[in-house]
Amino acid sequence: MSSRRDAGRRVAGAAGDGIRVAVKPPEPHASGARPPAIPLDLVPRHVALVMDGNGRWAKQRGLPRTEGHKAGEYSLFDVIMGAIELGIPYLSAYAFSTENWRRSPDEVRFLMGFNRDVIRRRRDQLNEMGVRVRWAGRRPRLWRSVISELEDAEQMTAGNSVLTLQFCVNYGGRAEIADAAAAIAADVAAGKLRADKIDEKVFARYLDEPGIPDVDLFVRSSGEQRTSNFLIWQAAYAEFVFLDTLFPDFDRRHLWRACEIYASRERRYGGAEPTQVPGIDIGT
């Protein structure tokens, strides 16, 4: 039971009631694929996922963009199951950015309703697997029904510990930093915080989810190679892996491939000596 790979056999307390319930293991991949044998100390603690390519996937098939988003739901939940199987404790998914409001009104309305419905539809499944849901993002402009579903999911899953899934909805890295700076300024003005005591550690406490560790591995699908304003403070020392696969064709095997690439790299954090010795054969 000590290994994170045994997550499917763990138990977790139902939030607030003290009841111990069995955690449901992830469903196996349809192909029978199993996670690679990456040493636990080389498994990334926090993976950030940019789910890109839904629109292009739909366009290639002569479908509305909304069909690409629908297909992406299944990809995300396969990735979640793969993260549990591999023993990744934190996964952040970029569901709706502060810049996505620039899309057509019809697509924005779809995405608002879709995010709300996905959370409502999937929260019991997440809870059964021992997933703790957290939400990062701004309240202004976000539909109240979406906020309600996110907060209900947070409350329902608060006692879980197999995987923390951070849904980033109406989220932007610059917005998060600006909001943190404004909150710090307000506390300084109110005499709650001394300006000369502000450092990176203090600043980080004002971010949306200060209890979630910095990003180790940043993964983006679809072949685009940019961060798109996602977790830019937390990803300061992340390893970046960009995969060509459009997100509706993405699954846990792509996540595992990214983790193998991550495990093969030397992480120096600005120092002269690597903190890990690469020893993973990732093939071709």
The catalytic residues are 52, 100
Query: How far is the CA of 17 from the CAs of 9, 14, 21, 163, in angstroms?
Result: 21, 6, 11, 20
Contact present, 161 and 130 (Cβ < 8 Å): yes
Neighbours of 203 (CB within 10 A): 15
Alpha helices in the chain (DSSP H): 54-60, 65-86, 105-128, 144-156, 173-189, 200-204, 252-263
Residue 72 to residue 247: CA distance in whole angstroms: 6
Point out which residues pair with 135 in neighbouring strands.
167
Residue 104 to residue 194: CA distance in whole angstroms: 44
DSSP class of residue 90?
A: E
